[in-house]
Structure 1
């Protein structure tokens, strides 16, 4: 089995692309070759990321986001064997 993150992943628990186990493991994202720490959602096949726009919130309390297009490279921050719940 290859150790690659999914094509699309979201930090929003209401999204169908949310995966708590993967997020707990730690997924990093390089966008256009630069490490991004404020990624709310990404899609590798479509080539976009959705970034939090500062501390701004919408009327429901969700972070305001900006969708940017470019090359997306997700990766796991820790190998699968080192995860706390791996057994």
Structure 2
């Protein structure tokens, strides 16, 4: 139970990309789960709970900077610690 008190609160908007202003390194020290429309997703790159969307890679497609091309999926978003 002591471990749960050390976990930081999950933000409303979080990104995996360290260059993003929405990246919080302390959160990624723990395993995070994301549910979109009551189905758990393991490929989420960015999410926003209040706006109800997640960004996931679009297959193996890359943008011109070599980063995965992301598509936005809308629905009910839940973030939790595993």
Pair in the same fold by TM > 0.5: yes
Structure 1 gaps of 5+ residues are 78-87
Structure 2 gaps of 5+ residues are none
The root-mean-square deviation of aligned C-alpha atoms, in Å, is 1.7
Q: Which residue of 2 aligns with 1:35?
A: 40
1:39 is paired with a residue whose SS is coil
**Alignment equivalent of 1:25, drawn from 25, 30, 38:** 30
After the TM superposition, which residues 73-84 of structure 1 pair with which residues of structure 2 at under 5 Å, given as runs?
73-77=78-82
TM-score using structure 2 length: 0.84
Aligned partners of 1:4 and 1:75 also within 8 Å: no
